[in-house]
Amino acid sequence: MLNVGKIEEGFVLDHIEAGKSLAIYHHLQLDKLDCTVAIIKNARSNKMGKKDILKVECDINTLDLDVLAFIDHNITVNVIKDGEIVDKKVLTLPKEIKHIIKCKNPRCITSIEQGLPHIFVLADEKKEIYRCKYCEEKAGDTPSSW
Amino acid sequence: MRHLMNPLDFTVEELDRLFDLAEDIAASPSKYAHACEGRKLATCFYEPSTRTRLSFESAMLNLGGQVLGFSDAGSSSAAKGESVADTIRVISCYADICAMRHPKEGAPMVAASRSRIPVINAGDGGHQHPTQTLTDLLTIRALKGRLDHFTIGLCGDLKFGRTVHSLIEALIRYPGIRFFFISPPELRVPDYITDSLKEKGIAYEEVIRLEDCMPELELLYMTRVQRERFFNEEDYVRLKDFYILNNEKMALAKDDMLVLHPLPRVNEIAVEVDDDPRAVYFKQVQYGVYVRMALILTLLEIKVE
């Protein structure tokens, strides 16, 4: 069993679906932060069998939780201060996401006009379906297809 | 300021007002002959579509307005690499309203987001063609007096036909609509549409042959079965004749059933059917002009007393 120490201030993103942590690392732009980040892959989990965990030692206002909710709103977000959990954030699906994913429809106007923002809107909350704001193409189901 | 991107942009009540206006225009065209004097419509067509462009231009000319524009991307600044957003900013200085057709889906929406004048989506790729749907609805309402409680058959290419998809979405907002989807299995209506109908409890049946539902239909919406949709010639040849509407099949239909078609027709409706009073596809073209006139007046907020 690998041990990763406690963080003093920041976030612990728990219950990430195994294999998704690197995608989340990139989407949250953690590579651009000058702080300690621990990526734990395939940790044992009673609930999920295997899970990923991300520990980020940073100011708690730094992260865009909307992005996280879009990627997987079942992730547990623990807010840490002075080494203790002070809050658990509930993630809700954002109504709109911008510049997170690109539209893959070759007939979409975004395929020829490079300056346009890639915007997806929540079309069906129950089925968690996002559609391109311009052409209404459905967003891919998994990060690998984004 | 409003734009029209999708036929569902207007509520059922707003559509009622639009169709009331269109029917008044049809009844008294001279009343509206000067309504748009001094106004200009820009038809920005990045791909050729003579029928739709002429319908818009005819609509504006009937209202006493003027038209300007281009009819393919090669003769516009798009050929020099100008973005849609820049083009519409420029067009906003030249005209009072714009009808835009573009091969890329969502282009009119990009234009609308940057425009100082109302933008009408005149067709964007395989995505939306809202004025065709408004034309279909007005034709039904004008000739049948209502848009609810119909059994409607949609026949032909139900998989790729955007006019069919839009019409289904528009009609299910009215009560008592029952659908027959008549197509070969290769061209059946997409699952996301049938799933949505199931969820909403809307009755539909899928049949292969027109003859199987013809006596029940009050409306028949024909579309073209295109050779290029088939994987092999044999399947195309086997299936295409199922969907030729002729007098023999019309004999099975109710006396007051209406036949609609977005046109162009190739061979899916035999010419002999044209003389049948139930064939209303050329009247539909005329209603297309009336509904575009009503739309231009509505978006320009011009009231004629």
**B interface test, pick of A118, A134, A137 with most B CB neighbours within 10 Å:** A134
Give B99-109 pLDDT, tens digit per residue: 999 999 999 99
pLDDT score for A144: 38
Burial A18-50 (b: 16+ CB within 10 A, else e): eebbebbbebbebeebeeebebbeebeeeeeee
CB A77 within 8 A of CB A11: yes
- B138 domain-assigned: yes
- Whether residues B112 and B160 share a domain: the answer is no
Query: Which tokens in the block code for residue B113?
Result: 């987001």
Asked whether the CA dihedral B140, B143, B147, B148 is positive or negative, the reply is negative
B252 in the same domain as B210: yes
Q: Which amino acid is at B11?
A: T
User: Quick check: B12 pLDDT over 70?
Assistant: yes
Q: What is the mean pLDDT of residues A25-46?
A: 89
**In the block, residue with structure tokens 């030692």:** A57
State pLDDT tens for residues A1-28: 667 778 888 999 999 999 989 988 988 8
The answer to whether residue B106 neighbours chain A at the CB level (below 8 Å) is: yes
Confidence at residue A83, expressed as pLDDT on a 0 to 100 scale: 87
The pLDDT score that the predictor gives to residue A90 is 84
- Looking at 3.30.930.10, 1.10.10.10, 3.30.70.140, 3.40.309.10, the CATH number of the domain A10-89 comes to 3.30.70.140
Look at the domain A96-140 and name its fold: SH3 type barrels. (2.30.30)
The answer on B186 and B114 residing in a single domain is no
Full domain range(s) for residue B224: 131-284
Q: Are residues B263 and B291 in the same domain?
A: no
| Any domain includes B1 | no
B110 sits in the region (left: phi over 0; alpha: psi -120 to 50; else beta) called: alpha
d(CA B153, CA B161): 14
- The string of pLDDT tens digits covering residues B177-203 is 999 999 988 889 998 899 989 999 999
Q: Given its phi and psi angles, is residue A19 left (phi above 0), alpha (psi -120 to 50 degrees) or beta?
A: left
In this structure, the answer to whether residues B153 and B273 fall within a common structural domain is yes
* Together in a domain, B89 and B122: yes
Name the residue in chain B with its Cα closest to that of A134: B106
Q: What is the pLDDT of residue B114?
A: 96
Report whether pLDDT(A59) > 80: yes
Residue A120 has pLDDT above 80, yes or no: yes
Q: What angle do CA A107, A108, A111 make, to 5 degrees?
A: 95
Highest mean pLDDT, choosing among A92-96, A101-105, B53-57? B53-57
* Amino acid residing at B27: A
Per-residue pLDDT, A142:
42
Question: For chain B, what is the domain count?
Answer: 2
- Rounded CA separation B73/B96 (Å): 21
| pTM for the structure as a whole | 0.88
Is B188 part of any domain?
yes
Q: Based on the domain organization, do B141 and B279 belong to the same domain?
A: yes
Across A18-144, the runs of DSSP E, i.e. the strands, are: 37-45, 49-56, 76-81, 84-89, 96-98, 119-124, 129-132
Residue B229 is predicted with a pLDDT of 67
Interface of B with A in 122-181 (CB under 8 A): 124-127
Residue B183: what residue type?
S
Please give, rounded to a whole number of angstroms, the shortest distance from the CA of B85 to a CA of chain A. Answer: 9
* pLDDT of B53 strictly over 90: yes
Q: Interface pTM (ipTM) of the complex?
A: 0.86
CB contact under 8 A, B104 and A136: no
Structure tokens at A105: 């429809």
> What CATH code is carried by the domain that includes residue B291?
3.40.50.1370
CB proximity B84 to A under 8 Å: yes
CA distance B260 to B270: 13
pLDDT for residue B179: 98
> In chain B, pLDDT over 70 holds for what percent of residues?
98
CB A82 within 8 A of CB A90: no
Domain with CATH 2.30.30.20 in chain A: 96-140
Q: How many helices (H) and strands (E) does chain B have?
A: 10, 9
pLDDT of residue A146: 41
Same domain? B141 vs B272? yes
d(CA B100, CA B231): 33
Residue B97, domain member (yes or no): yes
In chain A, where does the domain assigned CATH 3.30.70.140 lie?
Answer: 10-89
Residues B113 and B169 in one domain: no
Interface test with B, best of A102, A114, A129, A135 (most B CBs within 10 A): A135
B139 and B240, same domain (yes or no)? yes
Helix (H, G, I), strand (E, B) or coil at B143: helix
Quick one: B62 and B186 in the same domain?
A: no
B110–A107 C-beta distance less than 8 A: no
Lowest mean pLDDT among A47-56, B19-28, B278-287: A47-56
Report the share of chain B in percent with pLDDT over 90: 80
Residues B187 and B56 grouped into a single domain: no
Sheet-wide strand order for A76-81:
A37-45, A49-56, A10-17, A76-81, A84-89
CB contact under 8 A, B110 and A113: yes
- In tens, the pLDDT along B115-167 reads 999 999 999 988 899 999 999 999 999 999 999 999 999 999 898 888 999 99
Across the interface, whether the CB atoms of A134 and B103 are under 8 A apart is answered no
Mean per-residue pLDDT for B256-261?
Answer: 98
- A71-100: pLDDT as tens digits: 888 899 999 998 899 999 888 899 999 988
Per-residue confidence (pLDDT) for residue A1, from 0 to 100: 60
Lowest mean pLDDT among A94-103, B234-243, B276-285: B234-243
Residue bearing the bigger pLDDT, B242 or A43: A43
Q: What is the pLDDT of residue A86?
A: 92
Query: What pLDDT shows up at residue B80?
Result: 75
